[in-house]
Structure 1
Amino acid sequence: MKSLELQEIGKPLVLTARPIPEETPGWAVVRLRAAALNHRDYWITQGQYAQIRLPAVLGSDGAGEWQGQPVVIYPALDWGDDPAMPGRAFRVLGMPEEGTFAEYIRIPRTHLFPKPAHLTWEEAAALPLAGLTAFRVLFSRCQLRAGERVLITGIGGGVALMACQLALAAGATVFVTSSSEEKIQRAVQMGAAGGVSYRASDWAKQLRELAGGFDVIIDSAGGEAFALLPALCHTGARIGIYGGGQGKIQGLSPQVIFWRQISILGSSMGSPQEFEHMLDFVQRHQIVPVVDSIFPLADGNAALQRLASGQQFGKIVLAIDASAPN
């Protein structure tokens, strides 16, 4: 089988031939039709990840066929027994275990779920990690309810866009931030009520005037800007954070947090049960993940460059067999 292999940190992925894995009791071998990129994949290529083992086949997101059935793959292993939090053995798919940047993958049978019928292979591959992360932070952690006002920071990435789509489907009013006016306008076209550029010095003031405050805030950046978020919250609001690309949080006022009864909730990946619930929600509401661009498997390095540029709006997908029917 063909696979994209990381052989050396900082070097391009190499298209290689590997043996097709064999099925064993409890494990399936899926013929992949599409895979999607995540920032995790790029960070690993740059050595910005713990305990990297080479050579590695990256990729956490995938959709394909098993025994003639279209399936999507739960993008992690060994969540554990506690639905509230992952166990010590939990890890995301794609290094050290072989990931989805290949024609075949060996995966636990319990981690295969029916592909939503309304999605293409590429759309289905774009769903798992981003959809699950967004679903968990919105519903499991922040307990989003219909009619609430939601702020999603950094619109344009896969998780932020899925959070926007899920929140809108749940009956929330959504506002966004971005460094790009074009991305804000595209979010508005999707149904967001409005947004502001976080590059503006008074972005928090603009948001307050635009929205009047929020019940739920979903953030992936952290950093200095995070300290301004509690002041945008209604009493009893929840702030969910699933990333920290802007670094440590400084200047956070504890008084605003406790007087307004604000909850700050960390979140990351979700359990297989949450994955199943997310897929049901997507099927019920006919949600279609936003796909930025599609590259053939052999052009995986160009796809990584697109991801590194930060210009994407939605998920970047590898078509592993573009001739396959959806």
Structure 2
Amino acid sequence: MKAVVHADHQGFGGLSYREIEELPPKEGEVRIKLKTVGLNHRDFFVLDRHKPTDPPLIIGSDGAGIIDAVGEGVLNFQVGDEVIINPALGWNENSDAPPKGFEVLGHPFHGTFAEKVVIPACNVASKPAYLTWEEAGVLSLAALTAYRVLFTRGRIHKDMKVLIPGIGSGVATFLLQFAKAVGASVYVTSRSKDKCEKAIKLGADKAIDSNGDWEQALGGEKMDLVIECVGAATFNKSLDQLRPGGTIVTFGASAGDDIEINIRKFFYGQFNLLGSTLGSAEEYNEMLEFIQVHQIKPVLDQMYSLCEFGKAFDRLERAAQLGKIGLYI
């Protein structure tokens, strides 16, 4: 089968679109003939984590398609079922942190950037009927991350004021839609005027320039909850916007992970700092129910053919996107 494979060289230079062996499902597994897959920042990080001395690896965490083979012992799915993939492997029940053995599809195990993928049946869910294949294929990793960040860690409710710095990413656009669905007031930042305007159309109460004076742009309003995924470039500006006793939840560091904070200011402010990453199968099922109740869809930026993976990576690296970038198989 055709796939995007990382081998022999570290970084982007190790990627190629080529033939690789198609595998049958083992006991408890299903094989999915993929229709669409989604690109994530994680796919960039994998290119450095996967070493030239490691066996060739199919990258990719997100995808949707049709089951074409079922392993022994699988009773809840059959050939022909339309499904989406939960990329969180080995994390079944909600817990304070992922259990030992937790991994994400696409490293160290083969991922979704291929014509077919074999995964545990417990990591498969029925495709929500209202989603297109394009929407279903880019959904899972970003939506699950956003759900745990807001509901499990941030404990969001309708009376909250929420700040989301850097509105361009797929997770950020889900954060905006989820927070608005529960009735919260949502404020976002971006260096792009176009992204700010699009965020307002998605429901943001205010969108401000990331490079400007946040305190002034927000009229002195303080936030109950800030969701940080940018990192060093915005973290202290985010902290300055918290009300006393407010909470920052962080799940990424795309702009650097070395941060200095004023610890005295932090403890006098009675602030809460929480980390988060992806989520459990329990949260994944809750997220699917939530998006169907509220008819929430991924914000689709652009779709490419799988063989055009280089163009997709380039767009993500330039931060040109608003929402999710996907690929047709």
* TM-score normalised by the chain length of structure 2: 0.90
Indicate which of 13, 17, 20 corresponds to 1:18.
20
Say if 2:84 is the partner of 1:65: no
Structure 2: runs of 5+ lacking an equivalent: 68-78
Q: Is the 8 A contact 1:227 1:249 kept in 2?
A: no
Indicate which of 286, 290, 297 corresponds to 1:277.
286
| Identity between Structure 1 and Structure 2 (%) | 37
Say if 2:18 is the partner of 1:6: no
Summarize deviations over 1:136-187 as a string: whole Å, max 9, x none. Answer: 1111001000121110011011111111111111111111011111101100
The code of the aligned residue for 1:206 comes to Q
Partner residue, 1:313 = 322
Q: Tell me, in whole angstroms, the C-alpha distance in 2 between the residues paired with 1:292 and 1:133.
A: 19
Shift of 1:241: 0.5
Q: Tell me, in whole angstroms, the C-alpha distance in 2 between the residues paired with 1:143 and 1:64.
A: 33
Summarize deviations over 1:64-95 as a string: whole Å, max 9, x none. Answer: 11221111111121226662211231111102
Shift of 1:310: 1.2
Say if 2:176 is the partner of 1:164: yes
Say if 2:298 is the partner of 1:297: no
SS of residue in 1 equivalent to 2:197: helix
Q: Tell me, in whole angstroms, the C-alpha distance in 2 between the residues paired with 1:116 and 1:2.
A: 27
Shift of 1:99: 0.4
Say if 2:46 is the partner of 1:44: yes
The code of the aligned residue for 1:205 comes to E
Indicate which of 204, 211, 215 corresponds to 1:205.
215
Say if 2:102 is the partner of 1:90: yes
Partner residue, 2:138 = 126
Q: Tell me, in whole angstroms, the C-alpha distance in 1 between the residues paired with 2:217 and 2:244.
A: 17
Partner residue, 2:152 = 140
Q: Tell me, in whole angstroms, the C-alpha distance in 2 between the residues paired with 1:198 and 1:83.
A: 34
Structure 1: runs of 5+ lacking an equivalent: 321-326
The code of the aligned residue for 1:18 comes to I
Per the alignment, do residues 249 and 205 of structure 1 end up closer, same or farther by CA in structure 2, a change over 3 Å counting?
Answer: farther
Say if 2:165 is the partner of 1:153: yes
The code of the aligned residue for 1:184 comes to C
Shift of 1:13: 2.8
Say if 2:196 is the partner of 1:184: yes
* TM-score normalised by the chain length of structure 1: 0.91
Q: Tell me, in whole angstroms, the C-alpha distance in 1 between the residues paired with 2:315 and 2:127.
A: 26
Shift of 1:248: 4.1
Query: Which moved further from structure 2: 104-113 or 51-60?
Result: 51-60
Q: Is the 8 A contact 1:60 1:100 kept in 2?
A: yes
Count matched residues: 315
Shift of 1:260: 3.5
Summarize deviations over 1:263-297 as a string: whole Å, max 9, x none. Answer: 11111110111111111111110001011101111
Indicate which of 98, 109, 115 corresponds to 2:127.
115
Summarize deviations over 1:174-224 as a string: whole Å, max 9, x none. Answer: 110111111011000111011211112x2x222441x61111100112215
Q: Tell me, in whole angstroms, the C-alpha distance in 2 between the residues paired with 1:51 and 1:92.
A: 17
Per the alignment, do residues 207 and 51 of structure 1 end up closer, same or farther by CA in structure 2, a change over 3 Å counting?
Answer: farther
The code of the aligned residue for 2:103 comes to R
Summarize deviations over 1:106-164 as a string: whole Å, max 9, x none. Answer: 10001111111111111011111100111111110010001211100110111111111
Q: Is the 8 A contact 1:226 1:249 kept in 2?
A: no
Shift of 1:30: 1.0
